[in-house]
Structure 1
């Protein structure tokens, strides 16, 4: 079943407060981001998203629209280019309306020995995994304030809490996202803008299965988690929908872990 078809499954919750809202998702063309775009659209959200992967981004727009869901707005962008990211967010708002849900999702967990990192490479890991969160928040906060509030969801990682190695730049950035979430929740709370951190476990995305996960890794997942079933993108999307909706109106500055009980 495609993500677009599964997103409309009747057995999962619907959130009336999301219908007609405008959301912006970074890194939305594949993996978790594509699931977020699809699941939000299935709730009647006008979704805008960006990604460096133009081919998959355009394909996702067609897939979601073909499923009878609101057609997403897409523009390619590298989130490391802060002026370009903020410009794309502005263009999305001009096209679809004021953004009141922001999903800071774009990331890259490419493995690398710490001994091979130089200052430039480390700064790049921070830029692609952490820095853009703040500057996307800068771009959406004024429109959220004018609309009377909003929900910002930053994607963290279980790797900042568990015993993962081989990606020190990524893990450092993901730990920083938790601090960013806490302070921005305080900064923006008076404007009824909520900021939360969604922490995935080891999610079986297509990329993880293709590039990283081995049979030994699957066994590790089974041993580490309380639940035997692996975590899949839809598991994260269902928590994200709740955080985006008014059902979580009193929740901000928190870490929401979806990891099958690993931590």
Structure 2
């Protein structure tokens, strides 16, 4: 990935990313490393994490296998990574599960599991991050919602609900954490052409539907999204908080 903008303010800053082994998460790990940041990430995909660690070997990179639904383990990982690097500057709540299922077939356990991954983990990660950021009176939290929270999608009621909740949570935490100098924003990607999406539901037919619906006749890449995350993490966005920012190629 080529780096077109250099953010001097991100050098040596510590960034914690959930779901950092693949897709957008991996693109952000690489992007922040290129900026000279110290990057900690968690994931449950051991193989993908091992590959990323091998290709990005660096003393500024830290990984732990964590199931984010285990909230105490997630918060402990944030604590341990911060102890390792010394200071937490940026939290990126990227982890998600966009499982598709008929609404009438969703069980109570499946609904709760969806909320645990897509919504609960972000709140409790932010809670843990606040404990460190408030000591410094500065910090940035970036939550990953989705344009699906605004448009709705069939057979994704749990995911859409959780992603809509993240927008509300972003606004609430921006108010609650603002007095400590902590900014909280949300990124709402459109359909991003990750390897996982291309291998599952983002078929040729769906790709054409996307191109028909957007102003910019292109696919969004993980790098495009990572570039937005860099900006929101940097001092160049110092007065931006409580915002939900679409990156969707102008989807109608």
Scaled by the length of structure 2, the TM-score of the pair is 0.98
Q: In 1, distance between residues paired with 2:9 and 2:79? A: 23
In structure 2, the residue matched to 1:35 is 27
CA 70–246 in structure 1, closer or farther in 2 if over 3 Å, else same? farther
Q: Give distance in 2, aligned partners of 1:179 and 1:70.
A: 36
Q: Partners in 1 of 2:172 and 2:59 — Cα distance?
A: 34
In 2, the alpha carbon distance for the partners of 1:99 and 1:47 equals 10
Matches within 5 A, 1:87-236: 87-236=76-225
Distance in structure 1 (CA, Å) of the matches to 2:39 and 2:83: 13
Q: Is the 8 A contact 1:64 1:70 kept in 2?
A: no
Greater displacement, 21-30 / 142-151? 142-151
1:71 Cα offset (Å):
4.0
In the alignment of these two chains, the number of paired residues is 252
One of 234, 238, 250 as aligned partner of 1:249: 238
- What's the offset of the Cα at 1:58? 2.0
Query: How far did residue 70 of structure 1 move?
Result: 5.3
1:148 shift after superposition: 2.3
Name the SS for the 2:20 alignment partner: coil
Is residue 215–residue 249 contact of structure 2 (8 Å, CA) maintained in 1? yes
Q: Which residue of 2 aligns with 1:73?
A: 62
CA root-mean-square deviation: 1.0
- Contact (CA 8 Å) 1:25, 1:49: kept in 2 or not? yes
- Asked whether 1:47 is paired with 2:46, we answer no
Q: 2:7 is matched with which residue?
A: 15
Runs of 4+ in 1 over 4 A off after TM superposition: none
Q: CA deviation at 1:162?
A: 1.6
* Distance in structure 1 (CA, Å) of the matches to 2:196 and 2:47: 16
**TM-score normalized with structure 1 length:** 0.94
Structure 2: unaligned runs, 5 residues or longer: none
Residue 3 of structure 1: aligned partner:
none
CA contact (8 A) 2:133 2:182 kept: yes
Whether the aligned pair in 1 keeps the contact of 2:152 and 2:160 (CA below 8 Å) is no
**1:25-83 deviation digits (Å, cap 9, x = unpaired):** 00001011101111011100000000011221122112112xxx654100000000001
Distance 2:192 2:169 in 1: 23
Instruction: State how far apart, in whole Å, the 2-side matches of 1:59 and 1:87 are.
Output: 24
Alpha-carbon distance in structure 2 between the residues aligned to 1:61 and 1:93: 19
**Distance between the aligned counterparts of 2:228 and 2:59, measured in 1?**
21
1:58 aligns with 2:58: no
